[in-house]
Amino acid sequence: MAILRVEALMKDYAAGGRATRAVDSVNFTVEPGEFITFVGPSGCGKSTLLHILGGFIPKTSGRILLNGREITGPGPDRGMVFQEPALFPWRTVEDNVTWALEVSGAPRAGRRLVAGRYLEMVNLERFRHHYPHQLSGGMKQRVALARVLAFDPQILLMDEPFGALDAQTRELMQEELNTVWQRTRKTVLFVTHDIDEAVYLADRVVVFTAWPGTIKEIVTIDIPRPRAIEIKKSPVYAELRNRIWDSLRHEVLKSRGEGGSVYGVSSGAAGGEARA
Ligand code: ADP
């Protein structure tokens, strides 16, 4: 059975006395343990979709079923990682990771074990007694990932988690996330601007149309796992990346024609990173 089922999801924002449709007629299902990435022109509603799934903003209409039960607000079954890691600056790395367990009343010894397990998974065990200001951007994001994994949600929602990192760190983080996924087999929904990242990480890539966002197509990434970063040099990878870029390019041009915010394509390379 699908772990997540999204049916006819629609979202209107009320702004300046007018309704803006951000997401329209979105339908998809996710199987347990799948890694799904979402790409689409800037402003097409990817982040809105993820926040609705997290229960942080209300939908206008449609249904979201998690394990067959409709969700209407946030819950411990879903964990979210944002572009900015938002760690508690006054807490150590370990105490950041165990925060949710502490709130739920778990004993200290158990919390330390859980922190150790996930900090080891993201290669930060040596830094458990450091404070966030002593860490690089990539390290902070790894703490945020360990923190969300520590409360063991069924679904990880990741909203451009590597968007603020430099290119090299980003690539390392992608590899690390793939390894973490391989070990935990969490169901992941991951929004990104970066087509390379979307293909490398995903079992399926969901391509959104220009505003208002709806699903244009879902592309299966039939590349065996585990995936070393070197697969980015393979012909099958290039083919998939180019195919998604062709699909997206059309939407980007459409959104540009409508005067919305659009991607700027880096260095003219098909499938390169594209940013607003
Ligand atoms: P994406 O993540 O694909 O860049 P968003 O989900 O952030 O897109 O935004 C989708 C659309 O909804 C955009 O047109 C954006 O301006 C609008 N929007 C997002 N948040 C709000 C809000 N709080 N109030 C009004 N409009 C919003």
Q: Kindly state if the Cβ of 41 falls inside 6 Å of ligand 1.
A: no
**Ligand 1 contact via 47 beta carbon (within 6 Å):** yes
Counting Cα atoms < 13 Å in the Cβ hemisphere of 158 gives 32
Distance from the CA of 43 to the center of ligand 1, in angstroms? 6
Q: Whose CA is nearest to atom 12 of ligand 1?
A: 22
Residue indicated by tokens 């919390």: 111
Q: Where are the alpha helices (DSSP H) in 162-257?
A: 167-184, 195-201, 235-257
- Which carries the bigger pLDDT value, residue 229 or residue 256? 229
Model confidence at 271, pLDDT cuts 50, 70, 90, reads very low
Residue having the nearest C-alpha atom to atom 21 of ligand 1: 13
40 lines ligand 1 (CB under 6 A): yes
Q: What is the mean pLDDT of residues 16-28?
A: 92
pLDDT at 28: 98
Average pLDDT, the chain: 90
pLDDT value at residue 212: 85
Per-residue pLDDT, 155: 97
Q: How much is the pTM?
A: 0.91
How far is the centre of ligand 1, averaged over its atoms, from the C-alpha of 167 (Å)? 26
Give me ligand 1 centre to Cα 244, in Å: 23
Does residue 111 or residue 9 have the better pLDDT? 9
Question: 6 C-alpha to center of ligand 1: Å?
Answer: 19
Q: Whose CA is nearest to atom 4 of ligand 1?
A: 43
CA 193 to CA 144: how far, in whole Å? 20
| pLDDT-derived band at 51, boundaries 50, 70, 90 | very high
> In a mutational test of the pocket of ligand 1, which residue from 9, 10, 13, 157 has the highest number of ligand atoms less than 8 Å from its CB?
13
E runs forming strands in the chain: 4-15, 18-30, 35-39, 61-66, 69-70, 78-81, 155-159, 187-191, 204-208, 215-220, 264-265, 274-275
| Residue of minimum CA distance from atom 22 in ligand 1 | 13
CB of 20 shorter than 6 A to ligand 1: yes
pLDDT in tens, 152-195: 999 999 999 999 999 999 999 999 999 999 999 999 999 998 99
Q: Is the CB of 42 under 6 A from ligand 1?
A: yes
| Residue 227 beta carbon below 6 angstroms from any ligand 1 atom | no
